[in-house]
Amino acid sequence: MLEVTHLVKEFGGLRAVNDVSFRLRANTISGLIGPNGAGKTTLFNTIAGLYRPTAGEIVFLGRRITGSAPHRVFGEGLVRTFQIPRPFAAMTVLENCMLVPRRQAGERFWNNWVRRATVRAEERRCRDRALQVLTFLGLASHAGEYAKNLSGGQQKLLELARVLMADPKLILLDEPGAGVNPSLLVTIMDKLRELNARGITFLIIEHNMDLVMTLCDPVLVMAQGKLILEGPPAQVRTDPRVLEAYLGGVPA
C-alpha cells in the first residue's frame, strides 16, 4: 500500500530522517516506535506532505506522492492525526465532523442560493454520516457540545472521527494513547481493530509499549533518524538494537 524508499529530510545541518525505506502491506496495523527525537513525527509529516523530502520517494497505492501538498495526499486517501488533537474548539463535535468531506456543494457560496435543494440534501447526508461515525466511537451523546469541552481522551476519539469522515485507506495515527485513561485506551484499541477489519490500514506512532505489542504487527523501530529494525513484536521486544536505542546499552 505504501512504499517509502531512501527517504531523507534535512533541516539545515540536521538530518531528521536519514535514508529510511520500508513498505506497508494493506489491511495491517503497523507500529512505529523509537526514543524521543528519533524522527518519527518528522517521518509522518514528510509522508503526509507537510514537509517536502530532501531526497527519496513515497508511493501510495502505486502513485508517486513525493512532495505532494497535504490536501492532495489527503485526497488520495492517506490521512493523519496529531499527537495533540486540533479540533475547531468553538464548533460542535458534529460540526467538526461535517466539515471534513471534500468538494461539498455548499462550499461555493452561490450554490446556497441557486442550488439550495442540492446543498440541503448533501448536508443531510453528511450529518447522517457524521452521526454514524460518532455513534461508532461512542461520541454521539456529545454531538452538540463544543469540541473544547471534551476531555483529552474524547478529543482523541474526535480526531479519529474526523479522519473517518474522509473515507481513508491509510491512517497515520500519532500517539493515540497519549494522555488517555486506561478504560478509554481499551476502547480506542478495540475501535482500531474493528476499523482494520473493515479494511483500513494503520501506521501508529506510540510510546505505550503494551499498546504496540498487543495491537501492531509489524513494528518499525527508529533511532537517530534511521530505521534500525522492522519485525514482529516478539522480535522487537528483545532485539539488542532496540534496547540500545532506548536504554543506551544492553543490560548485563
Is residue 222 included in any domain, yes or no?
Answer: yes
Find out whether 42 and 16 touch, Cβ atoms under 8 Å.
Answer: yes
Residue 252 has what pLDDT? 38
The string of pLDDT tens digits covering residues 130-141 is 999 999 999 999
Residue 104 has what pLDDT? 58
CA distance 241 to 33: 13
Residue numbers of the domain that contains 31: 2-87+172-247
What number of other Cβ atoms are within 10 A of residue 167's Cβ? Answer: 13
CATH number of residue 19's parent domain: 3.40.50.300
Rounded to two decimals, the pTM is 0.88
Residue 119 has what pLDDT? 59
- Distance from CA of residue 45 to its chain's centroid? 10
Is residue 154 included in any domain, yes or no?
Answer: no
Q: Are residues 124 and 183 in the same domain?
A: no
Q: How many domains does the chain have?
A: 2
Q: Which three cell numbers stand for residue 174?
A: 500519532
Q: Are residues 72 and 176 in the same domain?
A: yes
Which residues have a Cβ under 8 Å from the Cβ of 250 and sit 6 or more positions away?
Answer: 240, 243, 244
Q: Are residues 57 and 130 in the same domain?
A: no
Is residue 237 included in any domain, yes or no?
Answer: yes
Is residue 161 included in any domain, yes or no?
Answer: no
Residues of the chain with pLDDT under 70: 102-119, 247-252
Q: Are residues 20 and 76 in the same domain?
A: yes
Is residue 236 included in any domain, yes or no?
Answer: yes
- Distance from CA of residue 113 to its chain's centroid? 37
Task: Determine the residue type at 173.
Answer: L
Q: Are residues 70 and 177 in the same domain?
A: yes
CA distance 123 to 249: 57
Residue 126 has what pLDDT? 86
Is residue 239 included in any domain, yes or no?
Answer: yes
What's the mean per-residue pLDDT of the chain?
89
Residue 76 has what pLDDT? 93
What single DSSP character describes residue 200? -
Contacts 24+ apart (CB under 8 A), 152-156: 152/85, 152/179, 152/180, 153/179, 153/180, 153/181, 153/184, 153/185, 153/188, 154/184, 155/85, 155/87, 156/81, 156/85, 156/180, 156/184, 156/188
CA distance 219 to 165: 27
Q: Are residues 27 and 139 in the same domain?
A: no
Is residue 252 included in any domain, yes or no?
Answer: no
The string of pLDDT tens digits covering residues 81-116 is 988 888 999 999 999 999 887 665 555 565 655 566
